[in-house]
A and B are shown apart, each in its own frame.
Chain A
């Protein structure tokens, strides 16, 4: 055989190293594979940022501070419960809030963690429009982190939901929420807690949390619009999916607060 393949094989055989060997990491191969992996990871990150790839994001025992310029929820229900999904250390009384479909103009979530040998660090997750560094919830005009007004329709809905964060079957368990309730409609405070489930797409609360009991306090709303949302949440749970345009994740030393949310702070 004298074909090109045979010649190539013969050349490889001539050049093959036949001396003593040691076992270890073959650096060129390792670098090639690591490089391919990091490129694939960057591509997935880009797909998530550009609203193509949805991710599963579930937390419970870590307190998140959640900020958004504006949240538009359609069909929401809530009741008081215990944070069942947390470990013993994370047990709290929380308001379980479920929203069938939600659009958020900007999201900034900040979690704090103390690492051995490093000290306090903050994880900052940002997506969508930049979130303001501080909120003034006394009036119903809302600006984002670049001082652009959040465009709203007459009924308080977001005028354009193209670049917003969109989530289906979004569940929060929160012990502290504040903001400006903007033209909330179909609000029913004092609903029998189990009846709140009818607002959800499945007609039932997720089986992995404590279920509402008869006679307990509940609330429902057809349109739940909240401007300048500032909440302390024990968990963000998605039965559906979430799209996170312009996703940014940063880990910074120290204990960051809302002032780290605008782009100018990154």
Chain B
């Protein structure tokens, strides 16, 4: 059992008094709730690594933008962009929606980004491969780490033992 301490996410912070009345205020409150939910969601997974990996995949697909029919019937020359780019998009989504597999997803995305260079128009004219390598590294290296001093100060009032925190 880990003895690490966990910081309560910002969604659990004492919320401000609920605004009363008015459609505008209700909409603002919902927007604020949505923003907090998204922030909490983002902080519990390798979000930015996923973003770069998905962008790399889109760039590689765009660099070999053939019709789906041609990609399916034209052989590897035409399908490579969809296979390599699609693979990167897939592993970016895995990092977002199944962060448990971040280690495997990051490592395989790293290999796919490298393999895209000789197989898919120089890895989407280099840009796709470089973005993919950076994104995959961020996914693979995501995990528990020592908080910065600023984070420690922020945590000091809200730390509860036995749970795990997110940055």
Which chain A residues have a beta carbon within 8 Å of chain B's beta carbons?
A: 17-27, 29-31, 33-34, 37-38, 40-41, 44-45, 48, 53-61, 84-85, 87, 123, 206-208, 237-239, 249, 251
Cβ contact within 8 Å between A56 and B120: yes
Cβ contact within 8 Å between B140 and A20: no
Of residues A33, A48, A60, A206, which shows the largest number of chain B Cβ atoms within 10 Å of its Cβ? A33
Tell me whether B43 is interfacial, beta carbon within 8 Å: yes
Residue on A with the closest CB to B159? Answer: A20
Cβ contact within 8 Å between B167 and A23: yes
Task: Chain B residues near A27: list those with CB within 8 A.
Answer: 141
Task: Chain B residues near A87: list those with CB within 8 A.
Answer: 65, 67
Task: Chain A residues near B145: list those with CB within 8 A.
Answer: 21-24, 26
B49, B110, B122, B159: the one contacting A55 at CB < 8 Å is B122
Task: Chain B residues near A60: list those with CB within 8 A.
Answer: 66
Cβ contact within 8 Å between B129 and A56: no
Cβ contact within 8 Å between A22 and B138: no
Cβ contact within 8 Å between B146 and A37: no
Q: Taking A17-B146, A34-B137 as contacts, is the C-beta distance between A25 and B114 under 8 angstroms?
A: no
* CB of A206, distance to nearest CB on chain B (Å): 8
- Interface of chain B residues 105 through 152 with chain A (CB within 8 A): 110, 113-114, 117-123, 125-127, 129-130, 133-134, 136-138, 140-147, 151-152
Tell me whether B87 is interfacial, beta carbon within 8 Å: no
Cβ contact within 8 Å between A55 and B66: no
B44, B66, B70, B80: the one contacting A23 at CB < 8 Å is B44
Tell me whether B100 is interfacial, beta carbon within 8 Å: no
Of residues B110, B125, B136, B145, which shows the largest number of chain A Cβ atoms within 10 Å of its Cβ? B145
Cβ contact within 8 Å between B137 and A18: no
Residue on B with the closest CB to A23? Answer: B166
Task: Chain A residues near B141: list those with CB within 8 A.
Answer: 25-27, 29-30, 33
Task: Chain A residues near B121: list those with CB within 8 A.
Answer: 56-59
Residue on B with the closest CB to A55? Answer: B118
Cβ contact within 8 Å between A21 and B4: yes
* CB of A245, distance to nearest CB on chain B (Å): 15
* CB of B67, distance to nearest CB on chain A (Å): 6
Tell me whether B11 is interfacial, beta carbon within 8 Å: no
Cα A48 to Cα B126 in complex, Å, equals 13
Task: Chain A residues near B136: list those with CB within 8 A.
Answer: 33, 37
Task: Chain A residues near B7: list those with CB within 8 A.
Answer: 20, 22
* CB of B66, distance to nearest CB on chain A (Å): 6
Cβ contact within 8 Å between A20 and B110: no
Task: Chain B residues near A20: list those with CB within 8 A.
Answer: 4-7, 147, 152, 155, 159, 165
Residue on A with the closest CB to B132? Answer: A37
Cβ contact within 8 Å between B138 and A30: yes
Cα A27 to Cα B114 in complex, Å, equals 21
B66, B78, B110, B130: the one contacting A33 at CB < 8 Å is B110
Task: Chain A residues near B114: list those with CB within 8 A.
Answer: 37, 40-41, 44
Q: Taking A24-B167, A29-B141, A41-B117 as contacts, is the C-beta distance between A19 and B70 under 8 angstroms?
A: no
- Interface of chain B residues 16 through 74 with chain A (CB within 8 A): 43-44, 46, 48-49, 64-67, 70, 73-74
Could you write out 24 A-B pairs with CB less than 8 Å apart?
A17-B146, A20-B5, A21-B147, A22-B145, A22-B165, A23-B43, A23-B142, A23-B143, A23-B145, A25-B142, A26-B141, A26-B143, A31-B137, A33-B133, A37-B137, A40-B114, A41-B133, A48-B118, A54-B118, A56-B76, A56-B118, A58-B121, A85-B74, A123-B125
